[in-house]
Copies of this chain bind each other. A is one copy, B any other.
C-alpha cells in the first residue's frame, strides 16, 4: 500500500501535536466561531474527512477526544452534535448533592438576591479580572425534597454577562448554565471545587433554617469555559443534615 511521505497542507505532524490534535483544534474553532451551535448536528464524518484532508481513523480520534470531554455527542444513525447543557446534564455533571439514600434529584431553586458589586482581591484572582471590575452577584436558595438545603452566592464578570437583570433571573426556567449558554454564548466546560467545613452564622442560620453554629459545608466553585477561562465563582453553604456531597475518583487520572 502506498502512503505519501508527507501530509499535504501542514507539513506532517510533530510529536506532541499530532494530526488529530490539529483536527480537534479546528473543530473547536468552528464551534467557537458559532459555525455549529450547541445542540446542532455537525457534518458527517465522511464530509469532515474530506474537509480536513484526513482519514476516518484520524478524524474519529479527534472526535473521540471531544466526546469524552462533552464538547461533542455522537448519536448512532443520526449524526454528531455539539454538546449542550441541559437539566439532566447539570444534575449528572455539576450537581453533587444527593439525599441520604444516595438518590439524585434536581433541586428546587428560589431566587434570593441580585446586586452589582466590585471585585475584591480574592474574587478578582479567581475570575481572572482586575480588582474593582464590575461583577454581578446573585444568590439562590436550593431545596431538596422540599427542605431548604443550600444557599448559593454567585459572582459573574459583568463584561461577559452584559444585559443580565434581576427580572431575567426571576423569569428563567432553566439551569443557570443553560442560561449562560443560550443567552450569553458561554459554555461551562469544567468546574473546580474546594470544600471546607464552617459554622452557620446568624444570617446563614436564618436562611438555612438551622441553628447558629450548625456545621455546614462551604463549597467554593470556579467554573471554566472550553478555553479554560474562569467565568463564574460560586460559594455554596450546605446543610448536610439530609443530604451529602458525593464524588468519585478513578485509579487513572483524567486528561
Residues from chain B with a CB closer than 8 A to the CB of A198 are 197, 215
Q: Tell me, in angstroms, the Cα distance from A251 to B216 when the chains sit together.
A: 27
Classify chain A: how many residues form its interface, as a range.
35 or more
Chain B positions within 8 Å of A220 at CB level = 244
- On whether A251 and B69 interact (CB within 8 A), knowing A213-B213, A215-B198, A215-B215, the answer reads yes
Residue A199 at the chain B interface, CB threshold 8 Å = yes
**Once the chains bind, are A244 and B93 in contact (CB under 8 Å)?**
no
A103 at interface (Cβ–Cβ under 8 A)?
A: no
**B-chain residues with CB within 8 Å of residue A197 when the two chains form the complex:** 197-198, 214-217, 238-240
Give the distance in Å from the alpha carbon of A190 to the alpha carbon of B92 in the complex: 18
User: Are B215 and A195 neighbours in the complex by a CB distance under 8 Å?
Assistant: no
- Contact A250–B192 (Cβ < 8 Å): no
**Contact in complex: B215, A249 (CB < 8 Å):** no
Q: How many copies does the complex hold?
A: 2
**Any chain B CB within 8 A of the CB of A167?**
no
> For residue A188, which residue of chain B has the nearest CB?
B251
Alpha-carbon separation in the docked complex, A78 to B68 (Å): 27
Interface string of A61-101 (1 = CB under 8 A from B): 00000011111000000000001000001001110101000
Q: Whole-angstrom distance between the alpha carbons of A238 and B191 in the complex?
A: 23
Q: List 8 A-B contacts (CB under 8 A).
A: A70-B252, A70-B253, A92-B253, A93-B253, A193-B247, A193-B248, A195-B195, A198-B215
Q: Contacts A67-B252, A215-B216, A220-B244 known; list 11 others, CB within 8 Å.
A: A69-B252, A94-B249, A96-B249, A189-B250, A192-B246, A192-B247, A193-B248, A194-B246, A197-B214, A197-B216, A197-B217
